[in-house]
Amino acid sequence: MSDGIKHWKYSRISSVILIPLTIWFVAFFSKNFDMPFEHVASSMSTPFNSLMMLVFLTATIFHLQQGLQVIIEDYAYRKLLINLNIIFNSALYIVSVCSLGKLVLLGVL
């Protein structure tokens, strides 16, 4: 399978995965909108919500990386930009997962 076909399939799969996750995300934060931070942190600490947020972050950042790569390849193909895209999205994922982990494991300190 060529890289183009693989990239296209990954993009479509992540899009389909993001549909229910986005619905969960909007429902979760509309329920917790205008609540104190402690309440939101405690509701995020439940295993279901923390797992859903982890999967949402993973799928979203993967989809972002795929989409930015398509834009770079179509309009400004440079290997440096593709590598910077990978580095940027990897750093974004690490920061997001560490923030979620701190919130879930340590709670409100």
pLDDT above 80 for 44 = yes
The residue assigned the tokens 């770079």 is 72
Q: Which tokens is 15 given? A: 């899009």
Token pair 């295993």 is found at: 47
Reported pTM:
0.89
Task: Output helix, strand, coil percentages for the chain, rounded to the nearest 5.
Answer: 85, 0, 15
CATH label of the domain that carries residue 18? 1.20.1300.10
Where do we find the tokens 């997001």?
96
Mean pLDDT of the chain: 92
CA 82 to chain centre: 19
Pick the closest to residue 100 from 27, 47, 23, 63 (CA basis): 47
pLDDT beyond 80 at 10: yes
User: What domain count does the chain have?
Assistant: 1
Q: Scanning the structure block, which residue is given the tokens 């193909």?
A: 77
Predicted pLDDT at 81: 93
Instruction: Write out the residue range of the structural domain in which residue 52 sits.
Output: 3-106
Query: What is the spatial distance between Cα 107 and Cα 42, in angstroms, rounded to a whole number?
Result: 7
Question: How high is the pLDDT of residue 85?
Answer: 95
